[in-house]
Amino acid sequence: MNSSAVDPEIVVGIDFGMTCTGVAYSVSPEWSSPTTIQHWPGKLGFETRNKVDTILAYKPEGGRPVSWGFLVDHNRDDLILQELFKLWLDPGYREEADSQGAGVTIQEARASFVDYMRCLYEAILAHFDDTYPRWRTRQVEFLFSVPTTWETPITIATTEGLLKEAGFGSEPGHVAKISLTEAEAAAVYVSKQSYQVGDIFLVCDAGGGTTDINALKVKDNRSFRTELEPLRSVQGEAVGSTLIDYKVESIIAERLGRIAKVLRESPDKVARSMMTDRFTTFKCSFKSKTQNDLDLLLPIPGLPPGINYPAAHVRNSMMVITRNELQTVFDEMIDRVFALIDGEIRKLQTSHPGDNISYLVVSGGFGSSPYLKQRLRKRYELNERDELFNARSIKILSAKEPQLAVCHGLVINRVQELKTRMSVYTERCCRNSYGIVVRQLYDPMLHQGEDICHDGRDKQKWAENQIHWLVKKGQRVSVKEGVTHPYRLKLNRGAEQIPWTTHIVMSSLSADQLPRSTKHRGGKPLCVLESFIDDRALTLKNRHWYNVGRQYYRAEFDMKVIVGPADIRFEIWTKEGRISKAHEDIEVIWDPLITG
């Protein structure tokens, strides 16, 4: 989905979450602070929710969902519920041994995603239909975030296609595109909290399914414009509050298995039904001042009052999860968050020696946990650790609205671009390396064991299938200008109208470990670019009567690479300007190996 050349009149930011999804927007010409959609189907008119549940309900025979979000009745046995499918949209995601059961296939996850996004789109349409006259005829941008753990451009390209299938961008003048990673969007939001130029801060966006870390320095913080310098590429891990839910549910199911004979349904099904609002409220306020160290008591469906099974931790027909047991579950997740933060702090010691981190800002649903914030303060504020010497004076802060940081950040970033023509991010640290498969003039010192060919057109010896790395992991690249490299291409005469193709590879290895050619491990096929070379870029060679070689064309052009949050775009330029296939975007054929 290509972005429109016309400035939008409405900007909508959408944070698709593991357990719930948030939507915010701003409207021209005022471009006021983002407004959150708070009225959703399934809630009464006076009830407001900042986010809507990420869940679908289907009939057993399949088809379109019969309900979604707050309309889903969790107590109906005749419906199949689909939730927690977000992480499975990424082909690179691999389930850990203690993760969420058997999971779902990527095809099932994509089908659920399209169904959910279609329902969400219809709800957004209804909101604007009720609020803004003739809004469908205005220029509208729908901006989406993606998890930091999604690192391959094919995932971004596929997701944008699924959004289009769901209806986003289908109206004339409407555009839908992926804008920032969740970590980047959250950082934009928290950057408005009165920091000073030169401040270095870490943003820990801890959500339901993932936790992301972003290290940034404030370069400009005028009232109308903020500029952030990324110190490293964003980092993320598949750890979040839903893993706490899974652990507790597993504990309950195991204990119910001890009294399975007195249950009306299977222990797993009963345990699932016990994960209600009562548990969610207890989890979200765990270790808060108002909770007073109470144990968690969950009623067991089907048991009459007064039943006790001490061996199964059942008291008065309720399952007892002690505060110590729940703390153990929390600590396991929090320790993984600590490992991510510690790793980022240590890497900054090497990449930015002499710089000290001023703040650690917490956002996201899990970031709202009182217990998480208590442990963060104890670990980083109150315990000066010698090995983390660049974080000795760090202060822990919370985003003003932690659960809305991402969707608001998407809108804030775009509105600043429209007002000042400058993004909050003018540079981006590349998360992967991207290279083009080329041939190089043979050098016996460099190309031993490589594929070699002789070119009759220039009588030269060439090494085939070499990789020229366009951008390298960790390299800082201009968001607007990208990276440009010059190339030459030989075309046999008569082949001018045959599409020129080249292969792009990617690697997650560090810059000093990148393979030299496709014969070496470490690089994997990403896509094939296909484009016609404009006549303006062609020079006929061996055209004189005294030339003995056959005639051919030599094309000289620049390959420009624009690095996005997790995607990549390609442009071909000559001295006369940008050229490509029919003056449209270069056709990109994504390698199927990346999707498996």
Q: How is the chain split into domains, by residue range?
A: 10-181, 194-398, 430-595
Asked whether the predicted pLDDT for residue 587 surpasses 70, the reply is no
The b-or-e profile of 454-493 (16+ CB within 10 A means b, else e) is: eeeeeeeebbbbbbebbbbbbbebebeebbeeeeeeebee
Shortest CA distance to 424 belongs to which of 201, 231, 185?
A: 185
Asked if pLDDT for residue 489 goes beyond 80, the answer is: no
Average pLDDT over residues 244-267: 94
Task: Give the Cβ contact number of residue 518 at 10 Å.
Answer: 19
CATH match of 194-398 with 3.30.420.40: yes
Sign, CA dihedral 330-335-340-341, equals positive
| Integer Cα distance of 130 and 254 in angstroms | 49
Instruction: Report the distance separating Cα 241 and Cα 211, nearest Å.
Output: 10
Q: Would you give the end-to-end CA distance of the chain in angstroms?
A: 23
Quick one: average pLDDT of 516-533?
85
Q: What is the Cα–Cα distance from 268 to 272, expressed in whole angstroms? A: 6
CATH topology of domain 10-181: Nucleotidyltransferase; domain 5 (3.30.420)
Helix spans in 153-266 (H) = 153-166, 182-190, 241-256
Taking 60 as the threshold, does the pLDDT of residue 115 lie above it?
A: yes
For the chain, what percent of residues have pLDDT higher than 90? 55
What is the DSSP-derived secondary structure letter of residue 47? -
Region of residue 243 (phi > 0: left; psi between -120 and 50: alpha; otherwise: beta): alpha
Q: Which of 333-342, 383-392, 467-476, 521-530 has the highest mean pLDDT?
A: 333-342
How many angstroms separate the Cα of 432 from the Cα of each of 124, 471, 508, 554?
35, 8, 5, 31
Q: Please check whether the two domains, 10-181 and 194-398, share a CATH topology.
A: yes
**8 Å CB contact between 505 and 435:** yes
- According to the model, what pLDDT value does residue 248 have? 95
314 strand-pairing partners: 309, 319
3-state DSSP call for residue 268?
A: helix
Query: Is there a contact between 80 and 59 (Cβ–Cβ < 8 Å)?
Result: yes
Answer whether residue 582 shows pLDDT above 50: no
Residue carrying the six token digits 């993606």: 146
Report the alpha-carbon distance of residue 239 to residue 246 in Å, rounded: 12
**pLDDT at position 313, please?**
96
pLDDT at residue 407 greater than cutoff 80: yes
The pLDDT, as a whole number, for residue 571 is 78
Q: How far is CA 242 from the centre of its chain?
A: 17
The CA distance from 360 to 302, in Å, is 46
Residues 6+ apart with CB under 8 A from 423: 413, 416, 417, 479, 480
> What six digits make up the tokens of 352?
């930015």
Across 324-329, average pLDDT? 95
358 with 318: CB under 8 angstroms? no
pLDDT computed for residue 96 by the predictor: 43
The pLDDT tens digits of the residues spanning 182-225 come to 999 999 999 988 889 999 999 999 998 889 999 999 999 887 78
Q: Residue 280: pLDDT above 60? A: yes
CA distances from 110 to 69, 114, 115, 492 (A): 17, 6, 9, 44
Helix (H, G, I), strand (E, B) or coil at 88: helix
pLDDT 10s digits, 223-233: 778 999 999 98
Distances from the Cα of 374 to the Cα of 28, 287, 300, 362, 396, angstroms: 41, 9, 32, 12, 10
Q: Give how far the C-alpha of residue 428 lies from the chain's centroid of Cα atoms, to the nearest Å.
A: 15
Amino acid letter, residue 401: E
Separation between Cα atoms, residue 356 and residue 394, nearest integer Å: 8
Q: What is the 3-state secondary structure (H, E, C) of 312-375?
A: HCEECCEEEECHHHHHHHHHHHHHHHHHHHHHHHHHHHHHCCCCCCCEEEEECCHHHCHHHHHH
Contact present, 450 and 437 (Cβ < 8 Å) = no
Whole-angstrom Cα Rg for the chain: 27
> What is the Cα–Cα distance from 582 to 114, expressed in whole angstroms?
31
